[in-house]
Amino acid sequence: MKRMLSAIKPTGQLTLGNYIGALRNFVKYQDDYEMYVFVANLHCITVYQDPKQLRKNLKDAVALYIACGLDPEKSVIFLQSDVMEHAQLGYIMACNTYLGELNRMTQFKDKMAKNETGLTAGLYTYPCLMAADILLYDPDYVPVGDDQKQHVELTRDIAERFNNRYSETFKVPEPLVSKVGKRIMSLNDPLHKMSKSEGNDKGCVYLLDDLKAVRKKIMSAVTDSVGIIQIDQENQPGIYNLLEIHSALSGESKESICNRYQGKGYGELKAEVADIVCGELEKIQSRYNEIISSGMIDKILEDGANKAHYIAYKKLAKVQRKIGIEINKK
């Protein structure tokens, strides 16, 4: 069975973007692949997090993984920092990554361009830790949203470089970006990605949002003055985003939705999207409540960390042997 690995970093509450672009796909894949999904808590702290809030976000993320359909019997679910090999291999990966490569990473460049202050060294070297996260487990595929593809490509470059320098060690993974929902945009700023930590609550639907608030956000989504429901991402990004969300969740193609909406107004489309999103969130939230009150999370994470550690430990030992940092081992 081929292996897949992915993660989400709960720098805030998980969003509809995380669900459509990532989580929902993990759930589909878990029947056909050996699936490893972790909560990337080390990546969270590349930006300051209030410790109490972070603890809550991490627990909520695990509960939401399961509420969205990840099954701990089928997928290995764990917390990144519970498997210490991630940080250790991350350092070794940083020693095999060039500054020029990190300087080219769009996510970091965007933050630099916005003149954000207090950018940390951890944020800069985050792609090295991400390479370690992936390469420890030799996955065949890494399902990601559009924005993370560049990091998986860097991971491939680092893996190939390492294999060439020290002999075959890592499987070179493929990024897997789904066609629909690869980039859900903000509802009130459809030229920017829906992001959990941008502080733009009106544009972002959180999976644990009150459903009335979700409906209000969708009904207030920014559109345009064209007045026709059609597929035109460039001139009607807001409508395109609503069609994308609808299509990703309902399975109906954007073309078919547009055909049904000939001669109808934006308000009707928004109301239908709101119904679909709220229907999906209602199911997730009810399962989330059951999971939180069941107390099952600790056991799931313990089992997951044990399974992940078994693989990560062997891989790190192999890497350390190959690069020559251990004495008396060949």
* Interaction site with ligand AQP (CB under 6 A): 8-9, 11, 15, 17-18, 20-22, 40, 144-145, 147-148, 182-184, 193-198
Catalytic residue among 9, 59, 182, 193: 193
Tokens of 91: 């350092």
Tokens of 186: 């903000």
Residue 111 falls in the annotated catalytic set = yes
Strands (E), the chain: 3-8, 34-39, 75-79, 141-143, 174-176
Which residues are registered as beta bridge partners of 36? 5, 76
Residue 193 falls in the annotated catalytic set = yes
- SS3 for 121? helix
Count other C-beta atoms under 10 Å from residue 314's C-beta. 12
Residue 196 falls in the annotated catalytic set = yes
The minimum distance between CB 137 and ligand AQP, in angstroms, equals 16
Q: How many CA within 13 A on the CB side of residue 259? A: 5
Nearer to ligand AQP by Cβ, of 15 and 30: the residue is: 15
Shortest CA distance to 137 belongs to which of 29, 38, 19?
A: 38
- HEC assignment per residue over 33-102: CEEEEEECHHHHCCCCCCHHHHHHHHHHHHHHHHHCCCCCCCEEEEEHHHCCHHHHHHHHHHCCCCHHHH
Ramachandran quadrant class, 172 (left: phi over 0; alpha: psi -120 to 50; beta: rest): beta
Nearer to ligand AQP by Cβ, of 80 and 285: the residue is: 80
Tokens of 7: 């993660």
Shortest CA distance to 154 belongs to which of 119, 177, 129?
A: 129
The minimum distance between CB 18 and ligand AQP, in angstroms, equals 4
The b/e string for 61-71 (b: 16+ C-beta within 10 A; e otherwise) is bbbbbbbbbbe
The minimum distance between CB 329 and ligand AQP, in angstroms, equals 36
The minimum distance between CB 324 and ligand AQP, in angstroms, equals 34
In angstroms, the Cα distances linking 168 to 64, 85, 104, 194 are 37, 19, 26, 39
Nearer to ligand AQP by Cβ, of 29 and 261: the residue is: 29
Nearer to ligand AQP by Cβ, of 205 and 301: the residue is: 205
Catalytic residue among 59, 182, 196, 254: 196
Nearer to ligand AQP by Cβ, of 18 and 316: the residue is: 18
Q: Residue 168 — φ and ψ, nearest 5°?
A: -50, 120
The minimum distance between CB 83 and ligand AQP, in angstroms, equals 17
The minimum distance between CB 183 and ligand AQP, in angstroms, equals 5
Cα(61)–Cα(207) distance, integer angstroms: 10
The minimum distance between CB 265 and ligand AQP, in angstroms, equals 26
Nearer to ligand AQP by Cβ, of 93 and 184: the residue is: 184
Nearer to ligand AQP by Cβ, of 140 and 313: the residue is: 140
Supply the residues annotated as catalytic. Answer: 111, 193, 196
